[in-house]
Amino acid sequence: MSDWVRLFIMLYMTVVGLSMGAAFVESRFSRCRTVWIVCSAIIMISALVVLVYLEAGIDTLVQAYPLIVHLPSLLLFMLLSSIRGWRLVFQIFSAVLFCNLIHHGGGLVFYLTGQQFWSLLSAYLLLTAGMFWFLMRWLRPLFYRVCLLLNRGWWMMCLIIAMYYWIGIYLIPGYVGESLSSTMLKPAISCLMIGFYAVLMVFLSLVQREEEARHDAQMFSMQVSALQKRMDAIRGAEEMVRVERHDLRHRLLTVGELVKKGKTRAALDFIGLSEQRLNEKKTEHWCRPPVMDAVFTAYLEEAKQQKIRTDVRIALPDSLPVAEGEFAIVLANALENAIHACLELPEDERRLQCRVIAHPQLMMEIKNTCAGTVRLDARGMPGPSKAGHGWGTQSIAAFCRKYRASCQYETRDGWFILRIVL
């Protein structure tokens, strides 16, 4: 294999690796800024590869490749990704794995076709297109759904891929397509790794399906509970209406007698008192979507019972741009978390503000007073205050990821604020 072919392989895999890694991670920057950063990194690292080749030769370049390519790539992905820890390492190793599959598959075709450069290039392009399709269409969405569920075990998966990385790249010498040993051994190890990855993906899919089933059950239970509370409130209101209707005749007779006796002021006061009683017993409707209305009724009534002062503004149409049940789950989790936070404060400091509007965009803002400072993690999400808590926050994050909504947590002046904008 000529030096310029080896140089081409290094440059091609550098570009593909950086592009695939950037596509795999979820950037904390805007799309335009992310593209600009990645393209700049590709140009600089590729230029460094060519410079080392021109100054020191291909053998030195092979030895220095991890230092001049892999290490800067790692730093780049740490800069871009909104995820930290072993999850990020697993992302990077997954990108390395797919790049090696492209490299080994193309090298095998290159060797079998008599080391024709056109066959190497064609195989690289086809495999790259297939890998990017698999990554963006299936693997990336699955990873981010599961990422919210698994808190442990990522380092073990990283260790397995790292062992493959060490064996396939450094322990077995030579290029795939250059010698018979490397051409046979490295693709064989890659096939074994693919088997492991397939098993891992099946496992993650099962975990994700189990979580979806749990989420659906939670949503159904919440809907039934909220609607039941609404029906109980309606039945109570109907019973009070019947009582008030029975008492109305007596009240009219009382008002009539007061007017006959010229006690107009007393009659007006009696009418005002009756109107006040009716208003107190009136069932409040917050919005037209029934499930959303039931959630508002249930949790705002709970806030009232807990002596929490509420400030509510709701403007929702008959239909929503998202699934009503899923948005109701988000609202229920947010209100429940806000109520629990308020209960840690004295009664005179308990406040809750709720804003939900649909125009110009669907927006939800829940504000509540809180005790102390709520710590946010690297992704800007609040951590669970107690062991076993935090599922509500994860459910909100899953909803925002599904509908590509903007989710922001903020603490300011003794208030904890959650904003979701679609």
Distance (Å, whole) CA 99 – CA 343: 52
Share above pLDDT 70 across residues of the chain, in percent, rounded to a whole number: 73
pLDDT at 183: 65
287 band by pLDDT with thresholds 50, 70 and 90 = confident
CATH topology of domain 285-422: Heat Shock Protein 90 (3.30.565)
* Whether 413 contacts 368, CB under 8 Å: no
Q: Is the pLDDT higher at 33 or at 182?
A: 33
User: DSSP per residue over 325-374, as a string?
Assistant: HHHHHHHHHHHHHHHHHHTTS-GGG-EEEEEEE-SSS-EEEEEEE-SS--
Distance (Å, whole) CA 223 – CA 293: 11
**pLDDT of 3-19, one tens digit each?**
787 788 888 888 888 88
Closest CA to 337 of 409, 229, 400: 409
* Strand 363-369, strand 309-315: pairing: unpaired
pLDDT at 150: 65
Q: What is the mean pLDDT of the chain?
A: 77
Encoded tokens for 188:
């064989």
Distance (Å, whole) CA 94 – CA 99: 9
pLDDT at 19: 87
pLDDT at 194: 74
pLDDT at 366: 93
User: DSSP per residue over 196-236, as a string?
Assistant: HHHHHHHHHHHHHHHHHHHHHHHHHHHHHHHHHHHHHHHHH
**Among 102-106, 223-227, 368-372, which range has the highest average pLDDT?**
368-372
Residue environment code for 332-361, b if the CB has 16+ CB neighbours within 10 A, otherwise e:
bbbbbbbbebbeebeeeebbbbbebebeee
* Whether 21 contacts 81, CB under 8 Å: no
pLDDT at 388: 40
Encoded tokens for 124:
């690289």
pLDDT at 308: 92
Q: Where are the domains of the chain?
A: 3-214, 285-422
Poorest-confidence range of 29-43, 89-103, 198-212, 290-304?
198-212
**pLDDT of 87-100, one tens digit each?**
778 777 777 778 87
Overall average pLDDT of the 43-64 stretch: 86
Task: End-to-end CA distance of the chain: give it in Å, rounded.
Answer: 54
* Whether 388 contacts 340, CB under 8 Å: no
pLDDT at 297: 82
Q: Is the pLDDT higher at 301 or at 278?
A: 301
Q: Is the pLDDT higher at 238 or at 96?
A: 96
What residues does 415 pair with on adjacent strands? Answer: 369, 412
pLDDT at 278: 58
pLDDT of residue 325 exceeding 70, the answer is yes
pLDDT of residue 387 exceeding 50, the answer is no
